[in-house]
Chain A
Amino acid sequence: GESVGLHLPTLSVQEGDNSIINCAYSNSASDYFIWYKQESGKGPQFIIDIRSNMDKRQGQRVTVLLNKTVKHLSLQIAATQPGDSAVYFCAENPFSGGYNKLIFGAGTRLAVHP
């Protein structure tokens, strides 16, 4: 079936560097994408979202890029900090026309080293 997937299971970066986490999706009908951060033993925390009519959205230290042509989503974290260490999931809403259930990707663990 259709699914959301990630290229890299683990990403190690130095503190202060920029991080890029990638995600590939296969459902062309998806119109809403979200990035979540999950720390150990906790529920997912919303980071940033983007709708399919946009290709870029910026937040505080984070940027999400959407390339609908190749069905690719990325999360960029600027000046990565130790507190950014967590597992990051992309999620898609595969049903157009309103909010519905989310389909999650496999996740990428981000490890930030001092």
Chain B
Amino acid sequence: GAVVSQHPSWVICKSGTSVKIECRSLDFQATTMFWYRQFPKKSLMLMATSNEGSKATYEQGVEKDKFLINHASLTLSTLTVTSAHPEDSSFYICSAPRQGAMNTEAFFGQGTRLTVV
């Protein structure tokens, strides 16, 4: 079963409104989570690293005031797209690394399809 849950799976919002996407680690704690953005037929582009209890680290070119990240607990990170516009329409995916017996594996959420109209 899924170990990282993302909600909602899809959302349609009006231009100018804000949308919050949740990413939860289900059976493990994640001090770090990652947020990616994916355009159609393109690869995943890392947006930011979400750090529990501290500020997120944003990749170059990603507007931190546009994409607000909050990692309030060890199992939850949220991404809020503020004042959304049609160009923000995309597939957003989160991931959380889990330490296993042999290595650390990154588990991904099922993604959130955001459509801004």
List the interface of chain A (C-beta within 8 A of B).
32, 34, 36, 41-46, 49, 51, 89, 98-99, 101-107
With known contacts A101-B46, A103-B46, A104-B43, A43–B104 Cβ distance under 8 A? no
Q: Judge whether B110 and A43 touch: CB under 8 Å.
A: yes
Q: Which residues of B have CB within 8 Å of A104?
A: 36, 43-46
Interface of B is mostly: strand
Min CB gap B101→A, angstroms: 14
Q: Which residue of B lies closest to A1 (CB)?
A: B60
Told that A41-B113, A98-B104 touch, could you supply 20 new A-B pairs with CB distance under 8 A? A41-B91, A42-B111, A43-B4, A43-B6, A43-B93, A43-B95, A43-B109, A44-B95, A45-B108, A51-B103, A89-B44, A99-B97, A99-B104, A99-B106, A101-B49, A102-B34, A104-B36, A104-B46, A106-B42, A106-B43
Q: Judge whether A46 and B105 touch: CB under 8 Å.
A: yes
Q: Judge whether A44 and B108 touch: CB under 8 Å.
A: yes
Min CB gap B12→A, angstroms: 15
The complex places the Cα of A104 from the Cα of B93 at a distance, in Å, of 13
Q: Which residues of B have CB within 8 Å of A43?
A: 4, 6, 93, 95, 108-111
The complex places the Cα of A66 from the Cα of B93 at a distance, in Å, of 27
The complex places the Cα of A67 from the Cα of B74 at a distance, in Å, of 37
B42, B44, B46 pick with most chain A CB within 10 angstroms:
B44
Q: Judge whether B110 and A34 touch: CB under 8 Å.
A: no
Q: Judge whether B111 and A41 touch: CB under 8 Å.
A: yes
The complex places the Cα of A89 from the Cα of B41 at a distance, in Å, of 12
Q: Which residues of A have CB within 8 Å of B111?
A: 41-43
Q: Which residues of B have CB within 8 Å of A49?
A: 103, 105
